[in-house]
Structure 1
Amino acid sequence: MSLASFKLKLAALPEPLRMGIGLGLGFFVTLTLVVLVMVVGFGYMARIYDDLERITLVNNVKIELAHTMKYAQRDRAVSLYSLALIKDAFEKDEELQHFDRKAEDFMKAWSKLQSMEMNADERALAARINKLIRERSRIVQNAIAYAVKHHGLVAAEHMRKIAIPGQQVVADEINNLLELQQALIRQAGASAADSYTKARRIMLWLCTVTILITIVVAVIVLRQVLRQSRELEYKALFDDLTGLPNRALFFDRLGQAALMYENESKPFSIVVVDLDRFKEVNDTLGHHIGDLLLRHVAQNISATMRRTDTVARLGGDEFVLLLPSAGAESAEIIVKKLLSALCQRVNLEDSVVEVVASMGIASYPEHDVDITRLLLKADMAMYAAKRANVGYRIYTPEIEAVAARNLELQNELRHAIEHDQLLLHFQPKISHHTGCIMGVEALVRWNHPQRGLVPPDDFIPLAEASGLIQPLAQWVMQAALQQSVKWHEAGHTFSISLNLSTRNLLDGDLPLRVSRLLASYHGRPDWLVFEITESAVMAEPARALETLNKLEKMGIRISLDDFGTGYSSLSYLKKLPVSEIKIDKSFIKDMELDASDTVIVRSTIALGHNLGMKVVAEGVENIEIWDLLTALGCDASQGYYMSRPLSVEALEEWLATSAWAKEKVKPPAYAGVERRKSLRNSNNQ
């Protein structure tokens, strides 16, 4: 692996891991240097020990032996000279024995010295001494024999001239041996001293390097600790993703603003900002695009706000603004400017996202003097704006009352779903071709124990906002299938239409749950029609299309509700697996009076038929509209003219008595007076 590739791989690791690796390497190098110091120190100590051991056990012994030889050689020379002077035979014999003892001492020392390890100089000197010993041995023996026979000055002179000089030559070589040993001792001492000096220098150098590396590692650790401390302090006060102040820092500044009001009596306002449909962006485009969107929004808000304002992120897609010296009216002006700058289409890599936000305003001290409650009230105002789809709201007590009521209603709705306090009403759809029922639309009602029947407009949006729409839809599908099974067993063949919300369409598990319900109730897919709105589809077209295609492949028909009121394009209509479109009642109710509505309805019917779809009209309230729709070729209609939404019992009675319920009745003539009376009478029953 090259150094460059190693650096790239190291750079790709998380910073804490990189720092850990760096510190580990630093400690490893330090430990290695410490070990190296010990190894080098022990190595040089071993060399010094060897030198000292050589001096103590070798050179000193050799010097001692050489001294023994020297003294023995000297004593022998004295004995030789004494032999020549001594006259008494006994004394001569005694001196001769002394000479032999010294000779023996000399040879013992010499033999032991030769047995020891020698270098080249020592071996050369030993060879010369051995040669001299051999050469002088006969001369000494002859001199001793001469001294034994003669005495006096003549014998002494003989010894001085012949025997003693030979002994002196050997003594000189022994002195040379002593000098050599002393030189070797000095050399060994110098080697030990040199080893000690080198060891000290190297160990000092290594210790210095070790200390420096330890200091560097300690500095790195200290810097890392300080940096992590700063990072922890930053993370405690700022948001990692956007760099904005977080909840803790925002509340700190909010508290400061409240203290400033006590001194300067300057009001301030809080604005809570929440992005609409942010979850869909995360679910559809991925969290990476969601993060990019949050950064873009944070930068956009910061760029729009005043320098004295505080922009913070509370979490998720919720931001909050602190506007010093701004009452509710001033805050409203700032919020309008912010909405204009924020709510635009933005390009995030390869994705285009429509930014829509809802904002709530609450002012101090006008709306509250407790900063926690003030933030809560701004949050209430924001949710009120989101429900009303109006961009922003300023807190009012009514908003809080509605929020409290909605929270209570939400809990009660959850209880209602779990304990079957809901019921279905059904509105018939009548075929223009046969004049009889072809299906019903299921409309959920809430029979509240205290409030009575709660209107759908009060709890359906609440279910959407609170996440209860999925369990609510599950209950509706289950109840509708149960009723459909009963009606088919009774011989009725019409289908039941169910409304799907945006969240239902974005629920990837919806087809699976529908399939399980059909299997559990032994129902058929063609018993169901799912009605969707253009706005629900266009919220996330790709995901909605995926869900609809799965439902359509199961055999469930799809109806496009409120056609003409949304903002879809014909290209999307062409892609949707829709078998039916429903014309919104806003185009139907004034057809008799507004020619433009008639043109729109005629065109829509033609468009639907050309695309191979059936066309259903909503909001038919009189026979004139019915006749006109029949003339325009509309396939079916529903409305109060035929029947209002009915409970199960009322619908079964209607099925038994109404002319619209008799499948073999011919289509009513739109100009026939008698038929009009018959239909009118049946509607009044």
Structure 2
Amino acid sequence: MGLSALTYVRSPAPTGAWLLGLLFFGLFLVTELTGLQFEIRRQGLLLTLADVPLLLALAYVPPMTLLLVRLAVCAIAQWRRGTVPVKAAFNIALMGASTACANLVIVEGGPVLLDEPSSWVVLVVAVLTSVVVAVAGVVGVITLVQGRFAPQELALSAVPSLIVAGLNTAIGLAVLLILRQGPAAYALLAVLVAFFFVAYRAYSGAMNQHRTLTEIYDLTAAISDTPQDGTLPDVLLGRVRKLLQAEYATLWLPAQGRHPEVLLSARTDDKGLLDVAGAPESLRRQAVETGQTVAASPKLGDDQVRAQLRDFGAKDAIVVPLRASSAVIGTLEVSGRLGDTRHFGPNDVRLLEAVAAHAAVAVENNRLVDRLRFDAYHDTLTALPNRRRISQALEEAVRVRAPGEVVAVLMFDVDGLRDVNDSLGHAAGDQLLAEVASRLRTLSPPAALVGRVGGDEFVVTLRLPNAEAALELAVDLRGRMQDRMTFGSLTLDVDTAVGVSLHPEHGSDPATLLQRADVATHAAKSLAGGVQLFDLALESRSVRRLGLAGDLRRALDNDELEVYFQPKVTLRDRRLVGVECLARWEHPTHGAVQPEDFVAVAEHTGQLSRLTEVVMREGLRRARQWVDAGRPLSVAVNLSPRTLVDPAFPDRVDDLLQEYGVSPDRLTLEITEDGVVDGVDRLLPTLRRLYDLGVHLSVDDFGTGYSSLSYLRRLPVHEVKVDRSFVQGMATDPGDLAIVRAVVDISRHFGLSVVAEGVESELTLELLEEIGCDIGQGFLFSRPLPYERLEAWLGAQTDAEPTPLGEVRRLRAVG
């Protein structure tokens, strides 16, 4: 009896239908082992095409035969997948329950008459009942273990199963109707089934590949769009955990410099990140030490790694090292593949390695931005907040000050720093400053902000009840800081002068408070107690500056300023190639006036352009003489950013070059890094005109500000001068050495020459030569010299031809 001849084919007895039972056993087994895996919370849900043969079996196979066949197929599938016994038993029981419910619907619905649409409805309801019972059982046991489902989460979990079941029942009905058409339909059905199977496999593979590529693209885009605000781990780990369908996704960064160790994990069903990991630390260390991916699962890794993972209590894991250039900066790892029967494979390893490559770049960029941001607001030597950060803190303190409180600014000026630098070298001076910073930070109240605002000036700012409390704190801190310091065989007393200014009595803005604290500090240097509260009578220094303004004008009119020249020497062959022109002023009453004082006076009184022209004229006049004497030297002149704002300045430079007949490439104009960066857009037109004239342009004090590679790329400059603070510390501080090396490498990348300021030791000279620095200047070669002494030195150099080492020693003697 053929299938097509049956209208009611179900027999109430299980005997006599074993041939059909074996046929459906094969169909159920094939569909059960070729399913789609979905994630529900921390469990995997397997959806198969078993609903299609189930509908046919409900029409053709007796109830007991169908139940036994499905239980046998389920048991074989659980065994093949390696499901744990408890879960396998639950799945087999659930399969029996769902099949029994489907049979019950058929029995209650009456005879199955394939010509009647009502029988089709009964079959569909029976299949959907089986699916609902299966989904309800899975959701129920997960709820018992992990808590209740939210309605939205329940819908997202159940609806896909019901949709797939509906499609399967529609296919089953179509197959059922085809079978009733006779043997010819069987061949057509076989072709359709084979085509569907091939198409299903291809579609499934394409969809998996498309999903993976889409998620990788979304992940990299999310990483790129993440602001530099510390939220990168949240974005990265959540997406990696979902992409790899893992229970844990972990980012580990070991402690590096001032950055502490980071261990953060995204875990299934947990909001936010946790400071735990799903894999043992030994795997993490192994990945960092070897620089290779460490993976452990039934498909990956060796027995030793799997044993470590088993002892930890995890079933599988992948640990990928994060690389920045050639260094390993941490690891990205996943552990605990969701679903008892699923494990990580080679494709998952390659996928995580691709993600780790993007993540490493993002992590390194975050750390670089964090360092640049930190450097912009902190002093390099002491790591204390700098003037910019102190100003921000003062603004905030003034804004939140309670009634009756004062905002106190205590400025500490370290006595004797110049003597230490001159006698023991700048390395000892830096050590003194670092010690003062450490003591001040340790002794100050917890609520105080301690910063460094100048070469030897430190600031402590906090809110206090009154002026008396501020003075008591200043006296107490000064006294407790006066312990001795040891430098080799020398012992020095640390002493400071302290000036105090208060808000609201002495000002409301940070600049005024700091300026008046500075005035009080200078007054405190002449007091026995060393502490001075600001008073308006102390503004004599400002009055003195006003007096200097008139004296400077007369000095410029009478050519009383003198220009000194500091040699610039090539490091490769110790050859003099140029000089830097430096203004000096010997006041008839006040004696030698510091350059920073009269330059500041010139800036504030509109005499800066005259001062610059005086220095430039003298430099070009001497450059012309040196050319005529057959020993051409370049001359360098410092510029203030205010000078570059003047659009007529390039024309004046051109006129002076033509007046003295000096080639433009013999003149170098030096602009400080901060001066360029703060107003780069306003200064670019003038800089480009000077560049077009052929004048060489130099970025002075490079590294002390907060410039970036983009500025070097935009600026039309020829030269970078490394600030003396880094050069003088590079022989003893690996950080300073790394900064100088980086500046040299960056400058060479942009085709710029590099000048090192502050060369004061032969070890520093050797290091600079080793890393490829071009030119040096400093006390090791010569101090700034007046023209006559420089000429005498040049004459002595012409008379004798010493070796490079002898030349350096003789330069030091002349200096």
**What is the TM-score of this pair, normalised by structure 1?**
0.42
As a proportion of its length, which structure holds more helix?
Answer: 1
Q: Which has the larger radius of gyration?
A: 1
Higher RCO (C-alpha 8 Å, min separation 6): 1
